[in-house]
Amino acid sequence: MAKKIIALLLVMILGASALISCGATTTNTPDDTTASTDTPATEDKANIVTPDIVSGSYGETFWNLFTKTLSEKPDATLEEIANTLITGDHIPFMAGASPVEAGYLGGFTNEITGFKSAYTFGPMVMGVPFVGYVFELESVDNVKDFTKTLEDNADPRWNVCTEADHTLIGAVENTVFFLMCPASVDLDGGEEGGEMGEVIWPDVSEGAGAMLFDAFVGYIENNPAIGIDELATLLITHESIQFMGGAMPVEAGYLAGFTADISGFESAYSFAPMISTIPFVGYLFQIAEDGDVNAFIDTIEPLANPSWNVCTTADQTVIGAVGNTVFFLMCPTSLEG
């Protein structure tokens, strides 16, 4: 009888042990699952080197856009990143991006090497203390040494006319960000850099020529200190332009579109199509501060020849001015097609 009682107690003890064991397994399962899902999340975090950023500064805008671009599109090319950085309302100047190779790069005191590929981004005109780069390195392991090289060779006064306020150097994985820039978005004076001069409105109030003159006034209104070189580039790349065009400086003498030599200006830029069969030619003339803008307009107006292009004739002649900058354009009424 005693043996039966002992055997029964052993069975009960073993059964209780089995229940405790099963209970422990059930309790631990969620913890094990949580641990396994946390591991990939940690592995997915990018290696980020954050630059020294002044809160609310112009450079912070670019760094945030850089990291946002790579976060949303990790496979973005350097060209895509650079073009994203120079597109938007945060750019108050005409900007561009282009690939660069190892060697001397603007903004540095010595040659820069040790990268796989790179793009630079910045203004298309001199005088703005802004230069940026995005570099792709062979490995994330090279980031520390490479960023130190950039830091040691950065020259905020590379631009003879002015000096950058901030230098930012950072990285996401093996993509390195470099920027030297002003502290504020208000470059070249911005809207506070001076007052826009008096506007002399042209007789033409409709059509393509009037639209481009309005754009001309708008560009100066947004940045009274803008140069005629940048103005000419902005006009020939206006959204209404349906052809490839370019801008270039011109000197006093014979100018296409006129019947006699043109003089009486300090400097000038032409903007026109790259092909000769379109009846479109434009000029921006900078008159001396003490010069007579109205007299200059009265001189060039009768010399304009809408049929200067033997293949076709311009429909509109638009002449006006903002301050001492004279706008001249002969063009079709419509730029479509």
The string of DSSP letters for 172-222 reads ETTEEEEEEE-SSS-GGGGGGS-----EE--S--SHHHHHHHHHHHHHHHH
Average pLDDT of span 243-269: 93
Average pLDDT of span 247-254: 94
Q: What is the mean pLDDT of the chain?
A: 82
Most confident of 86-90, 269-273, 308-312: 269-273
- Per the confidence metrics, is the pTM higher than 0.85? no
pLDDT-wise least confident of 39-43, 169-173, 271-275: 39-43
pLDDT at residue 274 tops 80: yes
**Pairwise pLDDT comparison (234 vs 162), residue with the higher score:** 234
The tens digit of pLDDT for each residue in 95-116 reads 788 999 999 998 999 999 999 9
pLDDT attached to residue 201? 92
**Pairwise pLDDT comparison (316 vs 160), residue with the higher score:** 316
**Pairwise pLDDT comparison (253 vs 92), residue with the higher score:** 253
Average pLDDT of span 13-36: 38
pLDDT attached to residue 172? 96
Question: How distant, in Å, are the alpha carbons of 263, 299, 300, 305, 330 from that of 260?
Answer: 10, 11, 9, 10, 16
β partners of residue 283: 270, 328
DSSP 26-92: HHHHHHHHHHHHHHHHHHHS--EE-----TT-HHHHHHHHHHHHHHH-TT--HHHHHHHHT-STT--
pLDDT attached to residue 77? 96
pLDDT-wise least confident of 53-62, 135-144, 168-177: 53-62
pLDDT-wise least confident of 21-25, 182-186, 226-230: 21-25
pLDDT at residue 19 tops 50: no
pLDDT attached to residue 335? 79
Average pLDDT of span 69-79: 94
- How far is the C-alpha of 239 from the C-alpha of 223, rounded, in Å? 19
Helix 207-222, helix 228-236: angle, nearest 10 = 140
pLDDT-wise least confident of 78-82, 212-216, 238-242: 238-242
Name the residue among 100, 124, 122 with its Cα closest to residue 112: 100
Are the C-beta atoms of residues 111 and 102 closer than 8 Å to each other?
yes
- How far is the C-alpha of 7 from the C-alpha of 252, rounded, in Å? 119
pLDDT at residue 84 tops 60: yes
Q: Please, which pLDDT band fits residue 149 given cuts at 50, 70 and 90?
A: very high
pLDDT attached to residue 8? 40
Domain boundaries, the chain: 48-185, 190-331
Q: Which residues contact 237 (CB under 8 A, 6 or more apart)?
A: 94, 245
pLDDT at residue 139 tops 50: yes
DSSP 245-287: EEEEEE-SB--TTBSS-B---SEEEEEEESSTTS--EEEEEEP
The tens digit of pLDDT for each residue in 186-232 reads 544 333 344 678 899 999 888 899 999 999 998 888 788 888 999 99
